[in-house]
Amino acid sequence: MTELLNTLYIQTPGTSLRLDGDTVRIYHPDQPGRHLLPLVRLDHLVLFSGVTPTDDLLLRCADDGRSVSWLTGSGRFRAGLVGPTHGNPLLRQAQHRAADSPERQLPIAIAIVAGKIHNARQVLLRTARDTSGHRQTALRATAELLARRLELLTTATSTNEILGVEGIAARDYFAAMPYLLGDNTDWKASGRNKRPPTDPLNCLLSFLYGMLRVAVQGALEQVGLDPYIGFLHAVRPGKPALALDLMEEFRPLLADRLALTMLNRRELTPTDFEELPNKAYRLTDNGRKTVLAAWQQSRQRDWPHAQLSRQVPAALLPLVQARLLARHLRGDTVAYQPWTVN
C-alpha cells in the first residue's frame, strides 16, 4: 500500500478494499491489523492485479467523482472507473468535428509528434552536456538526426506520413539508449520492445508509460474531452486514442528520463526485475514500490511552461495541455502548442 499525492496504489495480490463509513478499509490476510484511510484524502485509486475492491466502495468512488484504475503488474492499463460525465457536449462536438476534418486534424497530429521529437532531443542533449568523448559525440549526432526528422514534419500531408516520421525518429532515439545508459554494465539496451518487454529497461519504460497514460486519460476526462477520439492514433474500440496522442509529448522527459535516472543512479538493481518463462521481464513487488515512489516524487518537480510563462508541477502538465487543446478545439487559439522544454 502506498499513498502519495492523493493517489492510493495497492499492488499486493490478495488485498481487499472495503468501504467503512467515509473511509476505505484495506485488508490482507498476511498483514493483520486495521488499515483505514479517509476517502476525503484520495482522488484516485490505482489497483494492480489481484486486488479486489467491494461494490459499495466502487459505487461510492463513482458518486464522489473519484477515479479507479486497474493495471497489470507490468503497468499496462486494463480498465477504469469514472462517475457520471459532466463535460461540455459542445466541446466534444468540436473535438469530433476536428477529428473528422483533415484541415483541423493534421496540424494537431503534427504538433503532437513535433513535441515528442523535440523533447526526445532534449533528453539526448541534456545527457550530452554531462558527458564527454565518444559518448557525447554519439548523443549529439543523434540529436542532430532528430532535428532533421523534425523538418520532415513540415511537408507531411497525411497521418501515415506523420506516423512514418514518428516511427523513424523513435528508432533513431532508441538506438542511442546505450549512450544514455552510460557505463552501467547492469543494463542493456536493445531498442524498444513492449509486447512483452524483453529486458529490464523496456520493462521499466512500459510500466512508466502505464502510469503516464492513467494521468493523461484522467486529465482529459476532467476537462471534458473524449479520450477515445484522437488526432494521431487510429480510433478503435476500447483504445483511448486521444490519451495516447497527448502522452507523446510527455514520454521523453517525464517517463524516459526518469527511467534512465533510476537505472544510472542504481536506484534499481537487477534483483528488482524478474525474468518470466516466456523471456519477458517484469518488476518485482519491491521494484514496483520503488518505481511508484520515484514516479510520484518526480510529479512534484516543477517544469517551465513557455505558453504560461511560469513553472508548472509535472503532475499538472497533462491537465494544462488538455485545457490548451480544449481551447484550440473551441476556436480560442489558432493552433495547439505541445509542451516542450529547451
Indicate the annotated binding residues for Mn(2+). 166, 233, 248
Q: Report the C-alpha gap between 173 and 148 in whole angstroms.
A: 13
Cell of 289: 514500490
Q: Report the C-alpha gap between 110 and 169 in whole angstroms.
A: 13
Q: Beta strand 23-27 with 36-38: parallel, antiparallel or unpaired? A: antiparallel
Cell of 291: 518505481
CB 266 within 8 A of CB 184: yes
State the amino acid at position 140 in one-letter form.
Answer: R
Print the SS3 string covering 89-137: HHHHHHHHHHHCCHHHHHHHHHHHHHHHHHHHHHHHHHHHHCCCHHHHH
Q: Report the C-alpha gap between 335 and 329 in whole angstroms.
A: 9
The rounded Cα 225 to chain-centroid distance in angstroms is 17
Q: In b/e form, how buried is each residue of 96-133, taking b as 16+ CB within 10 angstroms? A: eebbeeeebbbbbbbbbbbbbbbbbbbbbbebbeebee
Q: How many CB atoms lie within 10 A of CB 90?
A: 11
Torsion angle, alpha carbons of 181, 186, 188, 194, to 10: -100
Report phi then psi at 3, rounded to 5: -110, 115
- Residues ≥6 apart with Cβ < 8 Å to 63: 83
Annotated binding residues, as ranges?
166, 233, 248
Q: Report the C-alpha gap between 306 and 286 in whole angstroms.
A: 38
Dihedral sign, Cα of residue 252, residue 298, residue 313, residue 67: positive
